[in-house]
Chains A and B, each alone.
Chain A
């Protein structure tokens, strides 16, 4: 069966420090991968998506970047964090069947607090 993991689960970082959140998917190949952010009191905002290795599309201009160095690995990064980067970050994937029906499978989430 397929599983998705992301880490760390919780992170407290000072303003101006770097960030790296990792997400891996197991049990499938060539998934579409997504990073969403959920800010306090707000809905889910799609940040990045990837349909293959090295292929990254950004939905909104921001202080963050994403990379996909391997088929089932998706990394969210920042060189210098801002206070506004605080939030709950969710990685998600969908396979070919999911792409047709639209179902996304989410990781457990990473809560980032920037102080």
Chain B
């Protein structure tokens, strides 16, 4: 089947620390991969995406590389800020699916302290 597994939180870091949130997936077809972010009390926003193997998605200093050989899409940021505190969701969809259905991981809570 299709599923996403991401590291469980919570993750607590000091400002300017390096961040990695691991994400691995299983898919019955060729997936597109996403990271969504949910700030406190809000809905989800797309953070970055990659639609084919070896693509690197990037936004707001965050990066993730689509690794087909390891079925992974780990999220990284070199220097986190307090404003990055949020819940991060890894997700996949099967390319070409007219349903547009996303499969989400359970989310990882990130807290950054000043």
Q: Which residues of A contact B (CB under 8 A)?
A: 32, 34, 42-44, 46, 49, 51, 90, 92, 94, 98-109
Knowing A43-B105, A44-B89 are in contact, say whether A102-B100 is a contact too (CB < 8 A). yes
How many interface contacts (CB-CB < 8 Å) are there between A and B? Answer: 67
Contact present for B100 and A106 (CB under 8 Å): no
Q: Which residues of B contact A (CB under 8 A)?
A: 32, 34, 36, 41-46, 49, 51, 89, 91-102, 104-107
The interface residues of chain B lying within 8 Å CB-to-CB of A99 are 97-100
Contact present for B43 and A107 (CB under 8 Å): yes
Cα A106 to Cα B89 in complex, Å, equals 13
Q: List 10 A-B contacts (CB under 8 A).
A: A43-B105, A43-B107, A44-B107, A46-B102, A99-B98, A99-B100, A102-B91, A102-B93, A105-B46, A106-B44
Contact present for B42 and A108 (CB under 8 Å): yes
Taking a contact as CB atoms closer than 8 A, the residue among B44, B89, B95, B101 that contacts A100 in the complex is: B95
Taking a contact as CB atoms closer than 8 A, the residue among B45, B94, B104 that contacts A43 in the complex is: B104
- Closest A-chain residue to B49, C-beta based? A103
Cα A29 to Cα B106 in complex, Å, equals 31
Taking a contact as CB atoms closer than 8 A, the residue among A46, A92, A102, A109 that contacts B34 in the complex is: A102
Contact present for A102 and B42 (CB under 8 Å): no
Taking a contact as CB atoms closer than 8 A, the residue among B34, B42, B93, B104 that contacts A44 in the complex is: B104
Cα A49 to Cα B98 in complex, Å, equals 12
The interface residues of chain B lying within 8 Å CB-to-CB of A109 are 41-43
Knowing A43-B106, A103-B34, A103-B49 are in contact, say whether A98-B43 is a contact too (CB < 8 A). no
The interface residues of chain B lying within 8 Å CB-to-CB of A102 are 32, 34, 49, 51, 91-95, 97, 100, 102
Chain A CB within 10 Å, residue with most, of B41, B43, B51, B96: B43
